[in-house]
């Protein structure tokens, strides 16, 4: 009884305190929380939100003299013209480029690149192209189970990576291994992942080409389309809250822009002023679905303005244009804490993956034209040759050395044993639950009973 009486007194005191907190003089949420006099706490969570003019219900919100509606979000002018906004603009958004198809600059309005950086960009593009050629053939030979190439999109990979800083976080789709290559991921590390051996950082649990590296701030690839977009925005907001001088960049294809995650992420980023770069590789097809069957808008770039995001369309086969655009986008993201949308127009000069035959839905002649006439590596090569930074002898030696490195990496990775069976069950729970332990016991017993049905190079 004494204990109950004590609790009742506490409840009475609590009610009194609540009554004080909810007094008419404390109408704001922070007043209710007792934080009305704590500006640091009040502004920290909502520092990216700009207060608009508050509507006063006691006054008419329409200014009849200026014919302006004072509406949340800003003033809106009235008009007597019945004007339905057309579905598209009269002219498509222009595409920023620096080099023409023959490698000649058509403008001086681009970021200047030093010889060392230019040569690394070219070297890494050639390396990526060589890796794709040899790893693709390795899959066709049955040595690895799956592969995705970046043929035709090498400039997007390497030039965008060159414009970023190492503290920036990369949220890839699955066609951006060149970004990881630029950051120092070795050819041997790529091979280990593709073969899923014990040196693979994912311990063989992921499909081939699903790379990831904590060391290089490269978030592991996920097969699910566009799920990385909201993740990138959340990470960018965290960087902003921690006052980091960095941003995130998230890569996705035109097909990714047809998902709900794309729209949620853009709105999320715009409202919170998140320092994130949305980089869309518009290569014309979402696997076999052309952009004409995906949307009626002028590509993806126009979607940014609908969410209040600055946007630019760039020639994705022009390394200098991509480098310049991403460098400017990063300045906006980091210095102004604003998101930016970059749409790179390009063309997938290879199949979607080793499970695809793209000649079933597009002409082989079209593919070949893009592969040759619009090749981003050849275009950039012509420019650096005219700058006097590369000659045919150095070019030949470069390609020969890279080819040897890739072939050697495959031979090494093939001989490394696979991760043990136990790794299937680790790294999720601190203490595995009973049902997981039962499953592990079951698989060990099954393999022992039927050893002929399981590979011999997987340790038990």
Which position among 189, 343, 352, 358 bears the catalytic label? 352
Q: How far is CA 130 from the centre of its chain?
A: 24
CB within 8 A of 110, min separation 6: which ones?
A: 98, 320, 321, 323, 324
- Distance linking the first and last C-alpha atoms of the chain: 64
d(Cα 383, Cα 74) in Å, to the nearest integer?
48
Active site (annotated) includes residue 160 = no
Which position among 257, 311, 353, 358 bears the catalytic label? 353
SS (H, E, C) the chain: CHHHHHHHHHHHHHHHHHHHHCCCCCCCHHHHCCCCCCHHHHHHCCCCCCCCCCCCCCCCCEECCCCEEEECCEEEECCCCCCCCCCCCCCCCCCECCECCCCCECCCCCCCCCHHHHHHHHHHHHHHHHHHHHHHHHHHCCCCCCCCCCCCCHHHHHHHHHCCCCCCEEECCCCCHHHHHHCCCCHHHHHHHHHCCCCCCCCCCCCCCCCCECCCCECCCCCCCCCHHHHHHHHHHHHHHCCCCCCEEEEEECHHHHCHHHHHHHHHHHHHCCCEEEEEEECCEECCEEHHHCCCCCCCHHHHHHCCCEEEEEECCCHHHHHHHHHHHHHHHHHHCCCEEEEEECCCCCCCCCCCCHHHCCCHHHHHHHHHHCCHHHHHHHHHHHCCCCCHHHHHHHHHHHHHHHHHHHHHHHHCCCCCHHHHHCCCCCCCCHHHHHHHHHHHHHHHHCHHHCCCCCCC
Beta bridge partners of 285: 290
Q: 146 and 139 in contact (C-beta within 8 Å)? A: yes
Which position among 8, 223, 355, 400 bears the catalytic label? 223
Q: What tokens were used for 50?
A: 């700009």
Active site (annotated) includes residue 337 = no
Which position among 75, 137, 368, 445 bears the catalytic label? 137
d(Cα 249, Cα 239) in Å, to the nearest integer?
12
What size, in residues, is the chain? 460
Active site (annotated) includes residue 395 = no
Q: What tokens were used for 434?
A: 């009973």
Active site (annotated) includes residue 414 = no
Active centre residues (catalytic): 137, 223, 352-353
């Amino acid at each position: 009884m004494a204990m109950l009486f004590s609790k009742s007194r506490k409840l009475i005191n609590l009610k009194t305190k609540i009554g004080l907190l909810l007094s008419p003089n404390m109408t704001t949420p922070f007043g209710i929380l007792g934080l009305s006099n704590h500006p640091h706490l009040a502004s920290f969570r909502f520092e990216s939100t700009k207060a608009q003019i508050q509507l006063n219900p006691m006054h008419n919100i329409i200014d009849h003299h200026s014919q302006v509606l004072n509406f949340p979000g800003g003033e809106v002018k009235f008009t007597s013209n019945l004007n339905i906004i057309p579905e598209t603009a009269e002219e498509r958004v222009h595409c920023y480029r620096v080099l023409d198809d023959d490698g000649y600059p058509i403008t001086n309005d681009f970021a200047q690149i030093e010889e060392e950086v230019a040569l690394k960009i070219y070297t890494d593009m050639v390396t990526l192209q060589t890796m794709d050629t040899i790893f693709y053939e390795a899959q066709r030979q049955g040595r690895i189970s799956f592969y995705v190439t970046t043929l035709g999109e090498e400039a997007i990979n390497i030039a965008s990576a060159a414009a970023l800083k190492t503290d920036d976080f990369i949220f890839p789709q699955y066609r951006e291994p060149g970004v990881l290559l630029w950051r120092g991921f070795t050819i041997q590390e790529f091979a280990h992942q593709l073969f899923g051996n014990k040196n693979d950082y994912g311990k063989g649990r992921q499909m081939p080409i699903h790379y990831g590296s904590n060391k290089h701030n490269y978030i592991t690839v996920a097969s699910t389309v566009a799920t990385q977009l909201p993740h990138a925005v959340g990470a960018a907001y965290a960087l902003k809250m921690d006052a980091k001088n960095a941003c995130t960049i998230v890569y996705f294809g035109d097909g990714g822009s047809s998902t709900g995650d794309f729209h949620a992420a853009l709105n999320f980023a715009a409202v919170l002023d998140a320092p994130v770069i949305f980089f869309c590789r518009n290569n014309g097809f979402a696997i076999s679905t052309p952009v004409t069957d995906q949307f009626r808008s002028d590509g993806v770039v126009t979607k940014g303005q609908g969410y209040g995001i600055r946007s630019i369309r760039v020639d994705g086969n022009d390394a200098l244009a991509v480098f310049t655009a991403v460098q400017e986008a990063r300045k906006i993201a980091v210095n102004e804490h604003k998101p930016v949308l970059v749409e790179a127009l390009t063309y997938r000069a290879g199949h979607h993956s080793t499970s695809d035959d793209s000649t079933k839905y597009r002409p082989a002649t079209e593919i070949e034209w893009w592969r040759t006439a619009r090749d981003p590596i050849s275009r950039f090569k012509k420019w650096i040759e005219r700058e006097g930074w590369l000659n045919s002898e150095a070019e030949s030696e470069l390609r020969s050395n890279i080819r040897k490195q890739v072939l050697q990496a495959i031979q090494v990775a093939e001989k490394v044993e696979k991760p043990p069976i136990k790794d299937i069950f680790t790294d999720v729970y601190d203490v595995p639950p009973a049902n997981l332990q039962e499953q592990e016991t079951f698989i060990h017993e099954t393999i022992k009973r039927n050893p002929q049905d399981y590979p011999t190079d997987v340790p038990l």
